[in-house]
Amino acid sequence: MTDYGVSVQQLNDLLSDENGHFSMPSKDFNEVFPRILLGNESVARNLRILQKLKVTHVLNVAEGDSYMHVNTGADYYVGTGTGTGIIYHGIPANDVEYFDLSVYFEEGADFIAQALEYNDDRGKVYVHCQKGFSRSAAVVIAYLMLRHKLDVRAALATVREKRAIERSDSTNDTDEWLFCTSSVS
């Protein structure tokens, strides 16, 4: 048991299926909380789909141009001829064990909260990384903990109920999700 009242095994149980296996998401995206879509880069790169979904904001939790990143930016969404009106924010998270994603939890939670408040609470945010089940999921979980005061188990369960997720290398140490618990208590 950790200082946060939840064990690593309990967290792994929440992340795995009934057989104890981790699985990949079966869809490119899922609505994991009202007006919060969690997904992969293919949807993030498809302006037509984003417009059809009425997405007003995109949070890229893999901003950058290396093999582990998704090379989009504000210009991609409002650039010449696109006219989407989508508001963009990027977090340059690496999917490696030594990367401390927790330093971006507040920033990500703030952007999600602002997105949902947009246009008299009619905003919709698409949160993504490359595959849409680790870095981006961790930021959505942090949002639920920091802004909705869910404990780590409830936040994980809320997201996991709608989308398969797992710890990436950058969230390999459960302290990243557990960190949020101390931030909201």
Average pLDDT over residues 58-83: 81
Query: CA 171 to CA 2: how far, in whole Å?
Result: 16
What pLDDT shows up at residue 136? 92
Q: Does domain 8-22+29-184 have CATH number 3.30.413.10?
A: no
Q: Which of 66-75, 95-104, 130-139, 164-173 has the lowest mean pLDDT?
A: 164-173
How many CB atoms within 10 Å of residue 183? 14
Among this protein's residues, is 180 annotated catalytic?
no
pLDDT, tens digit (0-9, with 9 covering 90-100), for 118-140: 999 999 999 999 877 788 999 99
Domain ranges of the chain: 8-22+29-184
Average pLDDT over residues 25-34: 87
What's the pTM value of the predicted model, to 2 decimals?
0.82
**Does residue 182 carry a pLDDT above 50?**
no
Cβ 112 vs Cβ 127: under 8 Å: yes
pLDDT, tens digit (0-9, with 9 covering 90-100), for 2-21: 444 566 566 656 655 666 65
Catalytic annotation, pick one of 129, 138, 146, 178: 129
What pLDDT shows up at residue 58? 96
Helix (H, G, I), strand (E, B) or coil at 91: coil
